[in-house]
Amino acid sequence: MTSHVSATHAPIAGTPPDAPGARVGFSAKAKGYLALTKPRVVELLLVTTLPTMFFAQGYSGRGGLPNVWLMVATMVGGALAAGASGAFNCYIDRDIDKVMNRTSKRPLVTGVITPREALVFSWVLTVLAVALLWSINPLTGVLGIGAIFLYVVVYSLILKRRTTQNIVWGGAAGCMPVLIAWSAVTNSVQWPAVILFMIIFLWTPPHYWPLSMRYSDDYNAVNVPMLGAVAGSRTVAVQVVLYTWAMVACSLLMIPLGGAGIVYTVVTLAAGAWFLVEAHTLYSNAKKDLVTKKNAMKVFHASITYLTLVFLSLAVDPFVGSALMG
């Protein structure tokens, strides 16, 4: 499915998409630049970064907390990389953003930020992110470049408008922060980091497909083939259940292969069981043709809670283990 939406659609009522940037006040301009970075996405990515650093420090045998400068540099560098990716995405998708209700208030649609300003801003964030991550070690810098490339080129430019598998393979970009965090601490990528990468990789479809069910009208209006928009609710629900089972199974690999302890084990089992119930409830409703936008969004929000709980337990686990050993 390769059809694209023309950039000549009429603007949303009340918005000046071609308004010169000079007419926009400083406060509005600053808020516009911030919005380009998709702060909610950045926040979610950072939730996985710091816990991974804590766990990597313990796994390396050094114990305690990573160096404060290292934590700050990794978090800021990761935030800049995620922000750059989001800004590039807003630039690339500005033609369809003006058609979709969910994205109609983005700064490139309203004219708060011009396309040229957005593109320059994206590149500036990219350079800053890569420079900061590279200063930690070259491997971390390369992984930062890889994260931006996956989201901007692989997902936004190649996959998003062409295949229902867009969020599966493009979602790999959202898994990169754990590799970046691990490499920042250990200057390597070890098996626990790969497992954490796969947890997020398998988590992304049951996280995003329910959201695309909620906004199916938007995606269909712009011919973006998100599975939740183009497939029936039963098909989507089956996929959500399968990916959730795979994700929970993968999360348990951290116990034998990553040395995760009691806190991680208990929390991950409980959170996984709860999220499986939510996924199967969606499937049960789908079989009866009772899926509503509210049902879909309940799974979407549950996925965020699940990931947060898993990574918080990952952060706490090394310290509890040390206390028990002591």
Domain range summary for the chain, segments of one domain joined by +: 24-187, 190-326
Residue 11: its pLDDT value, please? 38
Task: Dig out the tokens for 50 from the structure.
Answer: 């710091």
65 near 80, Cβ under 8 Å?
no
pLDDT in tens, 139-198: 999 999 999 999 999 999 999 999 999 999 888 999 999 999 999 999 999 999 999 999
List of residues 6+ apart from 48 with CB closer than 8 A: 177, 178, 181, 196, 200, 307, 311
pLDDT level of residue 44 (50, 70, 90 thresholds)? confident
Task: Dig out the tokens for 138 from the structure.
Answer: 């070259």
CATH code: domain 24-187 is 1.10.357.140
Is the confidence at residue 326, as pLDDT, over 90? Answer: no
**Looking at domain 190-326, does it have CATH number 1.20.120?**
yes
pLDDT level of residue 288 (50, 70, 90 thresholds)? confident
Distance CA 230, CA 228 (A): 6
Task: Dig out the tokens for 264 from the structure.
Answer: 């991680």
pLDDT in tens, 233-256: 899 999 999 999 999 999 999 999
308 near 49, Cβ under 8 Å?
no
Helix, strand, coil shares, percent, the chain, to 5: 80, 0, 20
